[in-house]
Structure 1
């Protein structure tokens, strides 16, 4: 029987447990979670680890495209963009329904993952863990490791020229909880991704003035009366914030909606991936370490349908670990990686970090992985249609897009129950 260690019991870790549980007679599962509950980033104000959740957060994706396959949200929930507490309740009910808790050791921190042997390409691993309740450190030997720690723990803090001279506050989105601190303040929000624009929506009724600093050509939607778009910050001089076009403003707060960087500090030097410009290199199917094919990453990608991705990847990892499908040769894996890099980065003239951005390539990716595992991607046509609609609505009006309400009709179609009028024009 193979021993498998899963690091993390958030949405991706739970997907991995469920997939591996299908082979319970062939695989033994041990999961280490630093918190005292499942849910990962969806646990607001978790006392045991940092979380990007905040009080008024609603999911960026409608529930009709983000649920676990075969486990729909309760039928009595009519709204589509759910508050974080409802997402957490759903994740907890998923773990309970599929009896996943039995595999999880809560309040355990993984300190180190290392290779202890390699025979004919078969590696054995040692996972060093600390019990946070007792302080005891133990070592777990296993045949495969699944990293399901997410990518929202290591903040990205830009190093602005003159940052040390700034007389106001610099706050990363991780530390945001509610608008109370922003009443009457002038704020520069750096970044126009979901996190930065979410905070804009949350504080715009109380802030005095908001500047949204970004360089994304897709972000052109109208802003509220007390907000305006500005260019990237060139430098800071005391309370003067100077943008690359020469515009100068003064602000009380620079708010960093600049996201996160991948952090695998618990992986030893022998197996730590090379990360180039926020791109985890040399991974097959965007999840399998080519140099160490018994080391898997679930959920590296960004801007896809997250839980759908977790389940597709978890099924592939489980099938490979249980040897239900053959492990591709190193040459095959390297070719897949190079082809994917060319498609997602080189051909589009983008930066290496865009390797993991799968907004529009996710469906082909899911189909390829599902074909490899011999499974069918559920509701893929319906999900793709709704995903494209919601993303289009987001770019049209990010103040109102979460008011949309949708209903799944069948595997290919959905119904628009309600949308603000701006989205029908």
Structure 2
């Protein structure tokens, strides 16, 4: 039987997943020490004009840009029991989300538990499922070591750009950037812009650019996240670049002034010592039980590596899963956990790089599996109901309201 023991838990990052982790750790009576590399909470939701190096000489974490609106309605982006204030729309701006996180942190008094301006130098496993964490104070340069009972990695997924290897792209020079470095549309005024990738950021940036650019093209495969409007010209995948000309898979060509790669990000954990047993191979983090637990050292969790989900509710159930799991971290053998991982991956039948994708059709079953495995409270079904409804009915001009645990209603934005 699982026995509750007060633990000293380290939380890496004070963004959306980190804040929820601190709250749940404290709620369950644990000691919690959180480490944040910047001087702010909110993670990637903090906008900065800086794109390369921050004020402390470290790579900029945030990929936030001007004009970003959420790609999901706020009703499926809430922490449980902490709704957004009433607003006139459901698809909100990034500063609204950041304000929401500040209110969440204030209500639950989370700030005193966060060490700001702390760079994690190294995390090393110790005997008996314990951890050594070394952090550097970015103001004093002093290094401090902490001994912890568990570690929760909450560093987000949107800071290390993934750049595809397209022949000729090495010659593009300053004409090309990754969306991580995109901040505002001004530099593209009167330009011919090619956006590569039609996920949420690709579709959003292409749509924003139509207000200032001369021409906007978006290159993608079969799947496209939402609509970009008739001003954006759809193109197939790029086969190669020849100077300022893009050659597409169908043989067509266009001239461009600038290219923006909206091609996703890479998971990166440079602070994990090799003894942690974590390897990232083609963006598959090997190996995480239920996309959370490090099977080599099961008192380490990765919160929020899954994508195509309702972020905040899903982070919360992952956190609650882990805090229940570590009451008996060896309830499953390493072999049992690995078998579960491989069976789940083979059933999905996707490339390695999509291992951690959950998606519209699997979020409900994944969340229910977490709840069932360690006997915790499941998410409200209405979260899944609305998420699934949006798959074929996304419309940023609609507003939603949660009525009860099962039902929502839809209305037009006034």
User: Does the pair score TM above 0.5?
Assistant: yes
Give the Cα–Cα distance (whole angstroms) in 2 for the partners of residues 251 and 110 of structure 1: 41
Give the conservation status (yes or no) of the 8 Å contact 2:313–2:379. no
Give the Cα–Cα distance (whole angstroms) in 1 for the partners of residues 38 and 173 of structure 2: 36
The CA deviation string for residues 10-51 of structure 1, in whole angstroms up to 9 with x for no partner, is: 110111111211232xx3211100111211111111755331
- How big is the alpha-carbon RMSD for the aligned residues of Structure 1 and Structure 2? 2.0
Alignment of 1:165-176 (within 5 A): 165-166=171-172, 169-176=175-182
- Give 1:213 deviation, angstroms: 0.8
What is the aligned counterpart of 1:303 among 298, 304, 308? Answer: 308
Residue in 2 that maps onto 1:379: 380
- Give 1:73 deviation, angstroms: 0.9
In the superposition, relative to structure 1, how do residues 341 and 222 fare at CA in structure 2: closer, same or farther (>3 Å)? closer
Give the conservation status (yes or no) of the 8 Å contact 1:151–1:260. yes
Give the Cα–Cα distance (whole angstroms) in 1 for the partners of residues 132 and 351 of structure 2: 35
Residue in 1 that maps onto 2:402: 408
The CA deviation string for residues 301-323 of structure 1, in whole angstroms up to 9 with x for no partner, is: 01111111110011111123344
- Give 1:57 deviation, angstroms: 0.8
Indicate the SS of the match to 1:406.
strand
What is the aligned counterpart of 2:123 among 113, 121, 130? Answer: 113
Residue in 2 that maps onto 1:44: 47
Give the Cα–Cα distance (whole angstroms) in 2 for the partners of residues 391 and 262 of structure 1: 26
Name stretches of at least 5 consecutive residues in structure 2 with no aligned partner: 1-5
- Give 1:98 deviation, angstroms: 1.2
Give the Cα–Cα distance (whole angstroms) in 2 for the partners of residues 390 and 270 of structure 1: 42
The CA deviation string for residues 320-355 of structure 1, in whole angstroms up to 9 with x for no partner, is: 3344x87322233122212221222x2xxx211222
Give the Cα–Cα distance (whole angstroms) in 2 for the partners of residues 304 and 222 of structure 1: 19
Give the conservation status (yes or no) of the 8 Å contact 2:63–2:180. yes
Alignment of 1:281-296 (within 5 A): 281-296=286-301
What is the aligned counterpart of 2:244 among 223, 239, 246? Answer: 239
Give the Cα–Cα distance (whole angstroms) in 1 for the partners of residues 317 and 61 of structure 2: 27
Residue in 2 that maps onto 1:73: 84
Give the conservation status (yes or no) of the 8 Å contact 2:203–2:227. no
In the superposition, relative to structure 1, how do residues 70 and 224 fare at CA in structure 2: closer, same or farther (>3 Å)? closer
Residue in 2 that maps onto 1:192: 198
Give the conservation status (yes or no) of the 8 Å contact 2:288–2:295. yes
Give the conservation status (yes or no) of the 8 Å contact 2:88–2:413. no
Provide TM-score, normalisation by structure 2. Answer: 0.91
In the alignment, does 2:66 pair up with 1:55? Answer: yes
- Give 1:152 deviation, angstroms: 0.9
Give the Cα–Cα distance (whole angstroms) in 1 for the partners of residues 330 and 227 of structure 2: 52
Residue in 2 that maps onto 1:334: 338
In the alignment, does 2:80 pair up with 1:94? Answer: no
Alignment of 1:339-418 (within 5 A): 339-344=343-348, 346=349, 350-359=350-359, 360-380=361-381, 382-394=382-394, 401-418=395-412
Indicate the SS of the match to 2:355.
helix
The CA deviation string for residues 152-199 of structure 1, in whole angstroms up to 9 with x for no partner, is: 111112222122333761011112222211111101110000010010
In the superposition, relative to structure 1, how do residues 178 and 261 fare at CA in structure 2: closer, same or farther (>3 Å)? same
Alignment of 1:151-300 (within 5 A): 151-166=157-172, 169-215=175-221, 217-219=222-224, 224-300=229-305
The CA deviation string for residues 212-256 of structure 1, in whole angstroms up to 9 with x for no partner, is: 1111x2339765444221122211121221122221211000111
Indicate the SS of the match to 1:234.
strand
Give the conservation status (yes or no) of the 8 Å contact 1:167–1:239. no
- Give 1:111 deviation, angstroms: 1.2
Give the Cα–Cα distance (whole angstroms) in 2 for the partners of residues 42 and 311 of structure 1: 18
Corresponding pairs, count: 400
The CA deviation string for residues 275-318 of structure 1, in whole angstroms up to 9 with x for no partner, is: 22211122111110111111110000011111111100111111
Give the conservation status (yes or no) of the 8 Å contact 2:195–2:262. yes
Give the conservation status (yes or no) of the 8 Å contact 2:207–2:229. no
- Give 1:419 deviation, angstroms: 6.5
